[in-house]
Amino acid sequence: MARLKLVQLDALIVVDMQKDFSSSGALPVPGTEEIVPVINSYIELFKEKGLPIFATRDWHPENHVSFKENGGIWPRHCVQWSQGAEFIDGLELPPDTFIINKGDRSELEAYSGFQGTLLDSLLRERGVKRLFICGVATDYCVKNTALGGLNLGYQVFILSDAVRGVSPQTVERAEEELLNRGALILEREEIL
């Protein structure tokens, strides 16, 4: 097995690991709790090497367009400052994690961590070239954050043991699209 060595150009992106996506939340993504320890081990790895860690969070106003009551397809979730929008218990984000709020404009859906945020400039300022992406949901925000990164010229790695999706069919399509666009899918033991 080829192994990948982390270098100074790398950053970890933890996508939307929030209470509303856990099994007791408003929009449960199956398996979200299960990946918390795996994500913690990636966090530890990046922290050890002094590499930057970014955590996106879905951060919707009450009247967000993605909610069913406002014509969208999702139950109300991740409302700004609500308990459901908090990071999931047990996730060990270091104090110097860069927190990226997205979907914070009522009229715009934002599945990508790059959409309407400072993520690209923060990464660029630090010379980051390669993104290691984990979190939820594989078929929505992980996918679109990864595509956003690819469009902006980053090399993208999906951490397959640390992502979970909404449905198997859309996850399969998402993985195929990501591979076709040049992302690589790897797991913990493939990283040195």
Q: Is 68 a catalytic residue?
A: no
42 contact choice in Zn ion, ligand VGL, none (CB below 5 to 8 Å, kind-dependent) = none
Smallest separation (angstroms) from ligand VGL to the CB of 16: 4
Please tell me which residue in 102, 134, 139, 143 is annotated as part of the active site: 102
Please tell me which residue in 10, 16, 20, 58 is annotated as part of the active site: 16
Residue with structure tokens 């660029």? Answer: 124
CA distance 176 to 192: 26
Q: Is 5 a catalytic residue?
A: no
Q: Is 78 a catalytic residue?
A: no
> Rule CB under 6 A: is residue 136 a binding residue for ligand VGL?
yes
Residue with structure tokens 């951060």? Answer: 59
CB 145 within 8 A of CB 133: yes
Phi/psi-derived region of residue 151, left when phi > 0, alpha when psi is between -120 and 50, beta in every other case: alpha
Q: At what angle do helices 143-151 and 168-180 cross, to 10 degrees?
A: 10
**Which of residues 50 and 81 has its CB atom nearest to ligand VGL in the complex?**
81
> Rule CB under 6 A: is residue 114 a binding residue for ligand VGL?
no
- Interface with Zn ion by CB under 5 A: which residues? 58
What residues act catalytically?
A: 16, 102, 141
